[in-house]
């Protein structure tokens, strides 16, 4: 043995080789260790390990482990989770949501409900890929209430015929055809499989049911224009395709009753369905595919439930006719390379040069060139292709129903050139030169039918008036005048006068706007319900950004109205104003459904009250905060926003025809400074803050306090300062930066950390939801935000929020990234399914109710995305320009309602949403994540917001110091172990104001956690303990072994060299 | 010159191969950085290490011919292997971001510049690994005939 060893010893090369190998292995294991630790949260999730565990012990101060929030009784049996009950409560809720959220748009000749003779079920035929391929659950559900034609369903199922609906979604550089084309089998293709399939119609001819589908999703938008669609499509993928029309004609030619269900959130062009007398019924059904959704729809079609929803968006004949569509798409700065954007060439078909084409050319590895749909993806600056884009919202407040109804009103009043149509070229092509409401609108906002009828009247109005608040108490009676039981939304609208002051100072006024809503109980035939509905006049006040720079109310005549949607309410107002069909109304309104009142505030000057609503509910004076949101704020730049007083002269022009249209904005001067990320000065090592200032900021102070002691502590509890001062600077940086799925523990204060946020728009997916029976019924399955809105039911929204809260308690994830509260600015926004409506009040109230429901279970929802994510194209960093009036009255108003939660405030407690997620885009040239006016001026100060603020992904990570000084709260950091930004405190430690801002961030975050269901497992003894997982053991063993073997082989190698040298000598 | 090459054993030629492979890895890294939006953080360090790796492998080759297979040659060879292994380390670390957005999520899957940055990055890493292993394997052999 020794001899063999001595032989080896004579060959030092062996040890040299081994040393080299072990050195390589050591480097590899060090790399593995580094990567595993940096991504330990994701590694834990993937491998089912826990790299940090929370240790909570009983101690004298906290003798028992307590539970801060417990699940609701209805999902417990003997105090323990009953999975079947939990699943059933979810499915029951989703079914009811669909019963109350589906919107009956047309129902001629009592096409619906479909009821059979006696005990016989109606015999129906399901036509088209939409129901047979896209929505199989509905097919199954309908099979339980109807006799369904098996010939046709089998034809679609077994023939290999393909179906796919247009769906932007994560198009991610797919071809236009992949995204926008509809694949719907034609009649010829059906006959090719079964030439005689339609002979089965005679046996199943009570009705034909068709589903039209358009998908939605994050990452891309619908695209104006026909590229990527089949031939014969008007305007875009939102119009009906030829094969869809063919299927509908097949139905109308062969069935007396034809029912078309609309399954989309993006408002399609459905004028043909409305006009076709042979299409008896049209119903919007949301966009969910689940069994509970299908069950709800089946209940509606069969008459077991009565529809009671109202549209959350307008359905116009021409989806391009809204002025907002003149500024929708991807507009790239002319000096795109300088501002840091991608140096791509935008080519191809589009609305105009450098605008909405959003195609780019590329060359693949085979040298083939092609065009791809460009989508925005990454959530960080600099490397993001969306960083180069801008959009100017020239339409102002006139989008959606605010546009169509206001213009209708002005045509009836014959004022402001409302009847004259101009510039209808290209994709806006429209043969008409006169604007006519009936030719523009198919179904408007709030509209919805029932199987019964209702009569609504406003019968009384009283007031509560304070210095800075005026609440109107409306009395509304609702009578069921039909012959079946039903519910109906009670939508309260308002109209304010459009005065000379408004025209002079460009205070735009919509002729009608939703102020609030309720929903009746289930009313039996002839039953009447009287409701008292409160209207906060703050919701009717207008924002004057030019002169008064605050909210104003003009003195003059105002109107409240109720009705079946915005148009019906407006016609009721016109009736009170003495207008009839003779004046151009499409039908006469009802005076009893409107109420005229006068506003004559004591503090009005020259007809304008700029005092009463100049103070927020939090007692802060309201004034302009959003300088540079308006392109006109930048020196050397100008644009014209649509003003009602001149529909023709100020209507946004087509980029093709208007030389004044800003088709190629060049970022210069202040705009360039902003767009390239320089907003707020931060002291750095080169220019540090004064020593006196820095000395005032303390770290690492001694304390006995732990985070667990702050359970349910109030925001103003004095102990927070003591607790936060105990943190080190590095811990503070960690806590501030990490706001998402991974939280590092803060050991100095016993904050255990963990993986605390869900991943997606709801709770974790069904597949890993152990609290659900057979994987059914997770709240996260249900993505139908817009459907919740269309219920117009506060109660259902609240119940939904509470279900989410229960899921949060059960999953151990106290945070959820929802609800989405951005506005449907156009039908083309791809992320519409995650947002609720075009109307801010509907959005805000539903978001508020959902948030409050979740809050009751200690769940932190983060209302998102704050703010102005109106389109997906170029979303990361797109400069979104608008007036401050538009910003405040539209999108911010939705968030304000959700955040302030005024309805739930008590004298003892000011309730509010605890979380917000910011958006990727800019407001004007300034990133919303670093917009001090938005985050501090409005969100924190005016609205009194106290809570969690998180970015979307790692948005604007490179601007962290500016973000924190602006009032932001951190990043949706994926992993607690990835501390790359935190390793360098140099970015933070030279600016006292920044450090104080970060301490406040820590204060708000810790307070939110201390008042959430996170405290279910935390008390004063809680701390986070590093845990030796098997993968940690593996890499440590690897490092140890390779280092040891490296050392041994190196020593032996040296010894071998010495031995050999001696031998040679 | 002929004398020099006569002194070298066949395995010694693995060293210039390692140097060339390191060079190739560096070129692939450059290619993966072609799109200005996807330049790897830490590229400069990796380039410096790559150049060092090439120099050290080349030096080890020449040393083995000049002075034989002694301690100095061994040290230079080991240094070359370690430096090349560090290229692997820093390239992998620098590319994790784009790996995440192309391989582990849908964020940039299908987007050619991102895919190029990702897959060329992987190719660069693999090439560095090969260079390292070739150098390490060469270490097992006597590099100079004189030394035998």
Q: Do B82 and A364 touch (CB under 8 A)?
A: no
Q: How confident is the model at residue A80 (pLDDT cuts 50, 70, 90)?
A: confident
Helix/strand number for chain A, H first, E second: 31, 34
CA A403 to chain centre: 23
* Annotated domain spans of chain B: 13-139
- Mean pLDDT across A93-100: 94
Find chain A residues with C-beta within 8 A of B9's C-beta.
Answer: none
Quick check: A755 and A48 in contact, CB under 8 A? no
- Mean pLDDT across A111-140: 92
Helix (H, G, I), strand (E, B) or coil at A723: helix
pLDDT tens-digit readout, A573-614: 999 999 999 999 999 999 999 999 999 878 888 899 999 999
Helix (H, G, I), strand (E, B) or coil at A139: helix
Question: Which residues touch A560 (CB under 8 Å, ≥6 apart)?
Answer: A458, A461, A472, A474, A492, A493, A494, A515, A535, A594, A595, A597
Q: How confident is the model at residue A90 (pLDDT cuts 50, 70, 90)?
A: confident
User: Per-residue pLDDT for A390 more than 50?
Assistant: yes
Find chain A residues with C-beta within 8 A of B137's C-beta.
Answer: 17
For B148, which residue in chain A has the nearest alpha carbon?
A11
- Mean pLDDT across A752-758: 72
Q: Name the E strands within A840-901.
A: 860-866, 879-881
Does the beta carbon of B41 lie under 8 angstroms from any beta carbon of chain A? no
Quick check: A846 and A310 in contact, CB under 8 A? no
User: Per-residue pLDDT for A727 more than 90?
Assistant: yes
Q: How confident is the model at residue A356 (pLDDT cuts 50, 70, 90)?
A: very low
Find chain A residues with C-beta within 8 A of B93's C-beta.
Answer: 31, 34-35
For the domain spanning A103-306, the CATH number is 3.40.50.1700
- Mean pLDDT across A246-269: 96
Residue of A376, A349, A373 lying closest to A362 (CA atoms): A373
- Mean pLDDT across A81-106: 90
Q: Name the E strands within A496-576.
A: 513-519, 528-536, 542-544, 550-554, 556-563
**What is the percent of chain A where pLDDT is above 90?**
55
Q: How confident is the model at residue A744 (pLDDT cuts 50, 70, 90)?
A: confident
Q: What is the mean pLDDT of chain A?
A: 86
Distance from CA of A761 to the nearest CA of B (A): 16
Residue of A985, A968, A959, A1017 lying closest to A380 (CA atoms): A959
pLDDT at A275: 97
Task: Indicate the DSSP class of residue A199.
Answer: G
Distance CA B102, CA B122 (A): 12
User: Per-residue pLDDT for A458 more than 50?
Assistant: yes
Poorest-pLDDT segment among A39-48, A281-290, A360-369, A686-695: A360-369
Does the beta carbon of B135 lie under 8 angstroms from any beta carbon of chain A? yes
Does the beta carbon of B44 lie under 8 angstroms from any beta carbon of chain A? no
User: Per-residue pLDDT for A63 more than 50?
Assistant: no
pLDDT at A426: 62
Quick check: A838 and A890 in contact, CB under 8 A? no
- Mean pLDDT across A186-209: 95
Poorest-pLDDT segment among A96-105, A827-836, A936-945, A995-1004: A827-836
* Mutation for B interface: A383, A760, A876, A1043, most B CBs within 10 A: A383
Q: How confident is the model at residue A757 (pLDDT cuts 50, 70, 90)?
A: low
pLDDT at A561: 98
Q: How confident is the model at residue A974 (pLDDT cuts 50, 70, 90)?
A: low
Burial classification of residue A635, based on how many CB atoms lie within 10 Å of its CB (0-12 exposed, 13-18 middle, 19 or more buried): exposed
Distance from CA of B136 to the nearest CA of A (A): 5
pLDDT at A465: 84
Poorest-pLDDT segment among A286-295, A504-513, A515-524, A531-540: A286-295
pLDDT tens-digit readout, A418-452: 999 876 666 666 667 799 999 999 999 999 999 99
* Mutation for A interface: B70, B134, B140, most A CBs within 10 A: B140
pLDDT tens-digit readout, A887-902: 999 999 999 999 988 8
- Mean pLDDT across A97-122: 93
Find chain A residues with C-beta within 8 A of B115's C-beta.
Answer: none
Find chain B residues with C-beta within 8 A of A39's C-beta.
Answer: 96
pLDDT tens-digit readout, A700-715: 999 988 898 888 888 9
Which two structure tokens, joined as six digits, stand for A948?
Answer: 């969690």
Give the closest of B38, B85, B140 to A13, CB-based: B140
Beta bridge partners of A480: A454
For A1057, which residue in chain B has the nearest alpha carbon?
B71
Q: Do A12 and B74 touch (CB under 8 A)?
A: yes
For B125, which residue in chain A has the nearest alpha carbon?
A28
Quick check: A127 and A148 in contact, CB under 8 A? no
For A42, which residue in chain B has the nearest alpha carbon?
B104
Q: How confident is the model at residue A810 (pLDDT cuts 50, 70, 90)?
A: confident
For the domain spanning A400-650, the CATH number is 2.60.40.10
Distance CA A962, CA A994 (A): 8
pLDDT at A415: 96
User: Per-residue pLDDT for A491 more than 90?
Assistant: yes
pLDDT tens-digit readout, A266-295: 999 999 999 999 999 999 999 988 888 999
H or E element, residue A124: strand A123-127
Q: Which residues of A1011-1038 are buried (b: 16+ CB within 10 A; e: fewer)?
A: bbbbbbbbbbbbbbeeeebebbeebeeb
pLDDT at A52: 77
Q: In A, residues 340-369, which contact B (CB 8 Å cutoff)?
A: 342-343, 362, 364
**Which residue, chain included where needed, has tokens 């700029």?**
A610
Residues of chain B predicted below pLDDT 70: 105-108, 110-111, 146-148
Poorest-pLDDT segment among A729-738, A996-1005, A1036-1045: A729-738
Q: Do B78 and A173 touch (CB under 8 A)?
A: no
H or E element, residue A105: strand A103-107
Poorest-pLDDT segment among A64-68, A341-345, A503-507, A1055-1059: A341-345
pLDDT at A433: 79
Task: Indicate the DSSP class of residue A605.
Answer: B
Which two structure tokens, joined as six digits, stand for A534?
Answer: 């409160």
User: Per-residue pLDDT for A2 more than 60?
Assistant: no
User: Per-residue pLDDT for A381 more than 50?
Assistant: no
pLDDT at A773: 55
Quick check: A467 and A486 in contact, CB under 8 A? no
ipTM: 0.93
Give the closest of B36, B133, B143 to A24, CB-based: B133
User: Per-residue pLDDT for A345 more than 50?
Assistant: no
Q: Do A24 and B136 touch (CB under 8 A)?
A: yes
Burial classification of residue A603, based on how many CB atoms lie within 10 Å of its CB (0-12 exposed, 13-18 middle, 19 or more buried): exposed
Distance CA A336, CA A634 (A): 18
Does the beta carbon of B130 lie under 8 angstroms from any beta carbon of chain A? no
Helix (H, G, I), strand (E, B) or coil at A735: helix
Helix/strand number for chain B, H first, E second: 5, 0
pLDDT at A981: 53
Q: Do A173 and B136 touch (CB under 8 A)?
A: no
Q: Do A173 and B107 touch (CB under 8 A)?
A: no
Q: How confident is the model at residue A655 (pLDDT cuts 50, 70, 90)?
A: low
Q: How confident is the model at residue A145 (pLDDT cuts 50, 70, 90)?
A: very high
Poorest-pLDDT segment among A423-437, A923-937, A1023-1037: A423-437
CA dihedral of A1014, A1019, A1021, A1026, whole degrees rounded to 10: -10
**What is the percent of chain A where pLDDT is above 70?**
87
pLDDT at A983: 53
Distance from CA of A876 to the nearest CA of B (A): 13
Pick A191 or A1022 by higher pLDDT: A191
């Amino acid at each position: 043995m020794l001899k063999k060893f001595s032989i080896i010893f004579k060959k030092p090369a062996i040890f040299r080789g081994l040393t080299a190998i072990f050195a390589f292995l050591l480097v590899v294991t060090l790399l593995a260790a580094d990567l595993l630790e940096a991504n330990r949260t994701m590694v834990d999730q993937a491998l089912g390990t826990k790299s940090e565990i929370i240790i909570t012990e009983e101690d004298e101060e906290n003798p028992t482990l307590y539970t801060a929030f417990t699940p609701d009784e209805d999902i417990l049996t003997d105090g323990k989770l009953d999975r079947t009950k939990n699943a059933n409560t979810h499915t029951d809720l989703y079914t009811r949501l669909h019963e109350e959220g589906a919107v009956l748009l047309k129902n001629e000749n009592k096409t619906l409900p479909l009821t059979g003779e006696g005990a016989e079920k109606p015999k129906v035929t399901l036509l088209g890929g939409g129901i047979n391929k896209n929505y199989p659950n509905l097919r199954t559900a309908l099979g339980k209430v109807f006799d369904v034609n098996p010939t046709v369903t089998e034809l679609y199922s077994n023939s290999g015929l393909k179906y796919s609906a247009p769906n932007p979604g994560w198009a991610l550089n797919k071809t236009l055809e992949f995204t926008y084309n509809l694949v719907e089998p034609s009649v010829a293709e059906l006959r090719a499989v079964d030439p005689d399939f339609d002979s089965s119609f005679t046996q199943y001819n009570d009705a034909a049911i068709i589903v039209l589908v358009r998908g939605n999703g994050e990452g891309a938008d619908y695209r104006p224009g026909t590229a990527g669609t089949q031939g014969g499509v008007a305007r875009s993928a939102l119009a009906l395709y030829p094969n869809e029309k063919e299927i509908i004609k097949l139905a109308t030619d062969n069935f007396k009753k034809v029912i078309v269900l609309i399954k989309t959130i993006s408002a399609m062009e459905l004028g043909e369905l409305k006009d076709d007398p042979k299409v008896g019924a049209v119903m919007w059904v949301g966009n969910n595919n689940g069994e509970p959704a299908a069950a709800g729809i089946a209940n509606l079609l069969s008459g077991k439930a009565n529809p009671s929803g109202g549209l959350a968006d307008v359905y116009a004949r021409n989806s391009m006719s809204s002025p907002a569509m003149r500024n929708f798409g991807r507009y790239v700065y002319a000096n795109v390379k300088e501002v840091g954007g991608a140096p791509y060439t935008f080519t191809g078909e589009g609305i105009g040069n450098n605008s909405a084409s959003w195609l780019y050319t590329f060359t693949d590895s085979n040298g083939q060139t092609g065009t791809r749909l460009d989508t925005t993806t990454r959530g960080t600056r600099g490397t993001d292709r969306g960083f180069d884009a801008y959009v100017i919202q020239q339409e102002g407040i006139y989008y959606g129903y605010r546009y169509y109804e206001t213009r209708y009103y002005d045509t009836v009043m014959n004022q402001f050139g409302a009847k004259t149509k101009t510039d209808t070229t290209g994709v806006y092509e429209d043969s008409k030169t006169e604007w006519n409401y009936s030719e523009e609108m198919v179904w408007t906002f709030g509209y919805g039918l029932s199987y019964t009828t209702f009569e609504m009247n406003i019968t009384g109005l009283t007031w509560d008036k304070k210095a800075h608040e005026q609440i109107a108490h409306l009395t509304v009676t609702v009578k069921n005048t039909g012959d079946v039981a039903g519910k109906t939304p009670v939508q309260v609208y308002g109209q304010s006068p459009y005065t000379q002051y408004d025209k002079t100072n460009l205070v735009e006024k919509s002729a009608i706007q939703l102020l609030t809503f309720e929903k009746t109980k289930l009313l039996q035939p002839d039953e009447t319900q009287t409701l008292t509905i409160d209207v906060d006049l703050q919701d009717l006040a207008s924002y004057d950004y030019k002169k008064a720079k605050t909210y104003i109310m003009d003195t003059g005549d105002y109107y409240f109205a109720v009705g079946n949607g915005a148009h019906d309410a407006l016609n009721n107002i016109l009736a009170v104003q003495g207008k009839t069909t003779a004046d151009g109304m499409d039908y006469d309104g009802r005076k009893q459904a409107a109420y005229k009142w006068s506003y004559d505030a004591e503090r009005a000057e020259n007809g304008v009250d700029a005092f009463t609503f100049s103070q927020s509910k939090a007692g802060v004076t309201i004034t302009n905060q959003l300088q540079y949101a308006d392109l006109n704020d930048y020196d050397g730049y100008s644009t014209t926003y649509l003003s009602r007083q001149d529909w023709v002269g100020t209507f946004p022009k087509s980029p093709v025809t208007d030389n004044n249209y800003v088709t190629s904005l060049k970022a210069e001067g202040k705009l360039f400074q902003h767009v390239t990320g320089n907003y707020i000065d931060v002291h750095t090592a080169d220019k540090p803050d004064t020593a006196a200032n820095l000395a005032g900021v303390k770290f690492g102070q001694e304390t006995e306090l732990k985070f667990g002691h702050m359970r349910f502590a109030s925001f103003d509890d004095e102990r927070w300062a003591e607790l936060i001062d105990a943190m080190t600077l590095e811990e503070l940086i960690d806590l501030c930066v990490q706001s998402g799925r991974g939280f590092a523990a803060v050991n100095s204060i016993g904050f255990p950390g963990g993986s605390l946020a869900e991943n997606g728009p709801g709770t974790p997916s069904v597949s890993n939801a152990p609290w659900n029976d057979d994987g059914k019924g997770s709240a996260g399955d249900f993505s139908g935000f817009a459907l919740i809105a269309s219920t117009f039911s506060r109660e259902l929204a609240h119940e939904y929020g509470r279900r989410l809260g229960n899921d949060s308690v059960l999953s151990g994830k106290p945070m959820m990234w929802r609800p989405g509260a951005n506005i449907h600015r156009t039908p083309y926004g791809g992320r519409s399914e995650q947002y609720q409506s075009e109307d801010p009040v509907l959005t805000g109230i539903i978001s508020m109710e959902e948030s409050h429901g979740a809050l009751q279970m200690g769940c932190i929802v983060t209302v998102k995305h704050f703010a102005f994510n109106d389109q997906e194209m170029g979303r990361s960093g797109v400069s979104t320009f608008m007036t401050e009036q538009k910003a405040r009255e539209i999108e911010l108003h939705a968030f304000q309602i959700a955040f302030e939660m005024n309805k739930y405030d008590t004298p003892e407690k000011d309730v509010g949403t605890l979380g917000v997620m910011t958006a990727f885009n800019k407001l004007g040239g300034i990133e919303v994540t670093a917009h001090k006016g938005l985050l501090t001026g409005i969100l924190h100060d005016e609205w009194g917001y106290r809570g969690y603020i998180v970015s979307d992904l790692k948005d604007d990570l490179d601007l962290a110091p500016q973000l924190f000084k602006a009032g932001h709260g951190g990043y949706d950091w994926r992993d607690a172990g990835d501390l790359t930004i935190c390793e360098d405190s140099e970015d933070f430690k030279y600016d006292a104001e920044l450090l104080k801002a970060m301490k406040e961030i820590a204060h708000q975050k810790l307070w939110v956690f201390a008042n959430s269901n996170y405290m279910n497992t935390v008390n004063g003894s809680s701390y986070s303990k590093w845990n030796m997982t098997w993968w940690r053991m593996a890499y440590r063993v690897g490092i140890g072994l390779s280092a040891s073997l490296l050392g041994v082989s190196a020593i032996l190698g040296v010894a071998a060299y010495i031995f050999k040298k001696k031998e040679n000598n | 010159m002929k004398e020099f090459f006569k002194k070298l054993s066949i395995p010694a030629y693995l060293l210039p191969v390692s140097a060339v492979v390191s060079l190739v890895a560096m070129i692939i890294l450059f290619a993966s950085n072609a799109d200005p939006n996807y330049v790897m953080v830490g590229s400069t360090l990796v380039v410096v290490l790559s150049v060092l790796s090439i120099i050290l492998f080349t030096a080890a080759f020449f040393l083995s011919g000049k002075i034989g297979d002694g301690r100095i040659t061994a040290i230079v060879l080991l240094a070359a292997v370690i430096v090349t292994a560090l290229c692997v380390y820093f390239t992998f670390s620098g590319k994790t971001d784009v790996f995440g957005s192309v391989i582990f999520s849908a964020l940039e899957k299908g987007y050619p510049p991102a895919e190029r940055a990702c897959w060329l990055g992987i190719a660069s890493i693999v090439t560095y690994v090969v260079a390292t292993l070739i150098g390490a394997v060469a270490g097992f052999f006597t590099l100079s005939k004189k030394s035998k």
